[in-house]
């Protein structure tokens, strides 16, 4: 695989010998592009997304840590900005690993590793002020011919225990939201952040016809979520150790209200399917680690 840095060192790009590519912005360790061998983009990125570090990226795969949304009733994180500070910190590129020996020529892969810790120069200053814990994050982005895997390891490096949530806020690119169906969440209890209800369920498939903001907690970790277009499966999302799946689409009004959301009808070309651990808190004592990952497979 070829791994290159942008001239301004703001991002790293990896391309497999077969042509698939991924691009990661050090700001937030945000995956901002994932293309197949034909050059077709798989992720949605707003045309008005700020890529200069001034704001969290609107699109791609922002990393949410240590709080999902805001948690006004949670002492440790109640003063943190929405979705925490991982997506607004500058991460360090730790290196790449590739598999290109003769045995793997037919299935090349490349893994990019990123790190952020409480001691890092790139840490959002808000974090130091408002979340005084010693932590270390390693985020790995692995590209294969037909999949993208992103995984995080959170370690408590200090004496004080802390609580955290993690979410991989993936903006999938679709051609037309009106022909999208989502399978794998049937009979799965969810909290609806739009209707303010809990413990709802619905049969398969789920379609998106209005603002949607839901936290599903499937009973089984091995349950995959499949996103189809016009009945043809496109993405299969599987999870390691991430018990929840957020489904989000801002629709007309919410998209209109976000300055960095362009084009305004871009919500028709996106769907967020976000694996995470957000319906409860991971409590990490000194030396404890929490590991979670998603794999998005092109089907």
CB 123 to ligand BG6: min, Å: 19
Distance CA 129, CA 115 (A): 20
Q: Considering the rule CB under 6 A, would residue 244 count as an interface residue with ligand BG6?
A: no
| Placement of tokens 């150790």 in the chain | 241
| Placement of tokens 């808000």 in the chain | 126
Q: Considering the rule CB under 6 A, would residue 246 count as an interface residue with ligand BG6?
A: yes
Phi, psi torsion values for 157, nearest 5 degrees: -95, 5
Q: Tell me if residue 169 is catalytic.
A: yes
CB 81 to ligand BG6: min, Å: 8
Q: Choose which of 225, 274, 292, 293 interacts with ligand BG6 (CB under 6 A).
A: 274
* Binding-residue total with ligand BG6 (CB under 6 A): 10
Q: Choose which of 4, 79, 82, 253 interacts with ligand BG6 (CB under 6 A).
A: 82
Which of 271, 253, 257, 254 shows the shortest CA–CA distance to 177? 271
Q: Tell me if residue 74 is catalytic.
A: no
Residue in 92, 169, 183, 262 annotated catalytic: 169
Strand residues in 120-269 grouped as ranges (E): 135-144, 147-156, 162-168, 171-173, 180-183, 190-192, 197-200, 212-216, 225-229, 232-240, 244-249
Map the footprint of ligand BG6 across residues 182-241, applying CB under 6 A: 193, 213
Distance CA 266, CA 49 (A): 12
Q: Considering the rule CB under 6 A, would residue 69 count as an interface residue with ligand BG6?
A: yes
Q: Considering the rule CB under 6 A, would residue 55 count as an interface residue with ligand BG6?
A: no
Tokens representing residue 260 in the block: 């960095």
Q: Which is nearer to ligand BG6, 22 or 63 (CB)?
A: 63
Q: Considering the rule CB under 6 A, would residue 248 count as an interface residue with ligand BG6?
A: yes
Tokens representing residue 85 in the block: 């500070």
Q: Which residues are catalytic?
A: 169, 274
By the criterion CB under 6 A, which residues form the site for ligand BG6?
56, 69, 82-83, 169, 193, 213, 246, 248, 274
């Amino acid at each position: 695989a070829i791994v290159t840095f942008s001239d301004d060192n703001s991002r790293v790009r990896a391309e497999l010998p077969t042509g698939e590519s991924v691009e990661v912005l050090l700001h937030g360790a945000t995956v901002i592009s994932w293309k197949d061998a034909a050059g077709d983009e798989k992720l949605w990125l707003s045309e008005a997304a700020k890529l200069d570090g001034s704001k969290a990226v609107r699109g791609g795969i922002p990393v949410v840590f240590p709080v999902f949304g805001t948690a006004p009733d949670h002492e440790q994180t109640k003063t943190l900005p929405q979705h925490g500070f991982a997506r607004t910190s500058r991460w360090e590129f730790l290196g790449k690993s590739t598999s290109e020996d003769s045995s793997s020529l037919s299935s090349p892969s490349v893994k990019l590793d990123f790190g952020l810790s409480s001691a890092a120069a790139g840490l959002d200053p808000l974090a130091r002020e408002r979340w005084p814990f010693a932590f270390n994050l390693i985020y790995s982005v692995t590209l294969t011919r037909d999949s993208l895997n992103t995984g995080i390891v959170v370690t408590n490096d200090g004496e004080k225990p802390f609580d955290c949530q993690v979410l991989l806020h993936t903006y999938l690119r679709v051609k037309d939201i009106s022909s999208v169906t989502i399978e794998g969440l049937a009979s799965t209890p969810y909290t609806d952040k739009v209707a303010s209800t809990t413990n709802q369920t619905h049969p398969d498939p789920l379609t998106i016809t209005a603002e949607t903001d839901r936290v599903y907690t499937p009973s089984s970790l091995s349950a995959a979520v499949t996103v189809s277009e016009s009945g043809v499966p496109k993405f299969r999302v599987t999870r390691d150790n991430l018990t929840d799946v957020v489904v989000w689409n801002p629709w007309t009004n919410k998209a209109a209200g976000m300055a960095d959301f362009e084009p305004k009808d871009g919500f028709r070309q996106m769907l967020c399917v976000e694996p995470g651990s957000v319906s409860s808190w991971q409590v990490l004592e000194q030396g404890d680690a929490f590991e979670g990952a998603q794999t998005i497979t092109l089907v």
